[in-house]
Amino acid sequence: MTGPAKAGDIRLSFEFFPPKTEEAAEQLWRTADVLAGYAPHFVSVTYGAGGSTKAPTLSTVARLLRETPLNAASHLTCVGATKDEVHAVVDEFRAVGVRHFVALRGDPAGGAGAAYTPFPGGYANAAELAGGLSALGDFEISVSAYPEKHPESPDVAADIDMLKRKVDAGATRALTQFFFENDDFARYRERVEAAGITIPIVPGILPVHNLAQVQKFAGLCGASVPAWLAARLGPIDDDPEERARVAADLAAEQVRGLIALGVTEFHFYTMNRSQLVSAVCDAVGFPRSGVSHRGRAATGAAA
Ligand code: FAD
Q: What is the pLDDT of residues 16-42, one digit of tens each?
A: 999 999 999 999 999 999 999 999 999
Cα dihedral angle (145, 46, 249, 284), rounded to 10 degrees? 80
Nearest to 144 by CA among 124, 123, 122, 159: 159
Residues with CB under 6 A from ligand 1: 46-49, 75, 77, 102, 104-107, 124-126, 144, 150, 152-153, 158-159, 162, 175, 177, 204, 221
At residue 2, the pLDDT reads 65
| pLDDT average, residue stretch 50-54 | 70
Helix, strand, or coil here: 244? helix
- Which tens digits make up the pLDDT trace of 84-96? 999 999 999 999 9
pLDDT tens, residue by residue, 246-280: 999 999 999 999 999 999 999 999 999 999 999 99
Per-residue pLDDT for 283 more than 60?
yes
Looking at residue 223, its pLDDT comes to: 96
Residue percentage of the chain with pLDDT more than 70: 93
Q: What is the pLDDT of residues 89-120, one digit of tens each?
A: 999 999 999 999 999 999 887 777 677 889 99
CB atoms within 10 A of CB 165: 17
Q: What is the pLDDT of residues 142-178, one digit of tens each?
A: 999 999 999 989 999 999 999 999 999 999 999 999 9
Residues β-bridged to residue 176 = 145
Q: Which atom of ligand 1 is nearest to the CA of 150?
A: 6
The pLDDT of residue 301 is above 60: no
* Residue 123 CA to ligand 1 centre (angstroms): 12
Q: Output the pLDDT for position 1.
A: 47
Q: What is the pLDDT of residues 201-238, one digit of tens each?
A: 999 999 999 999 999 999 989 899 999 999 999 999 89
pLDDT of amino acid 97: 98
What is the per-residue pLDDT for 141?
A: 98
CA–centroid distance, 109 to ligand 1, in Å, is 13
The reported pLDDT for the residue numbered 291 is 58
Residue 60 alpha carbon to ligand 1 centre in Å: 22
Structural domains in the chain plus CATH codes: 10-302 (3.20.20.220)
Judged by phi (left if over 0) then psi (alpha if -120 to 50, else beta), residue 262 lies in: left
Active site residue 193: no
Q: Work out the angle between the directed axes of helices 83-95 and 126-136 (0-180°, nearest 10).
A: 50
**Res 299: pLDDT:** 39
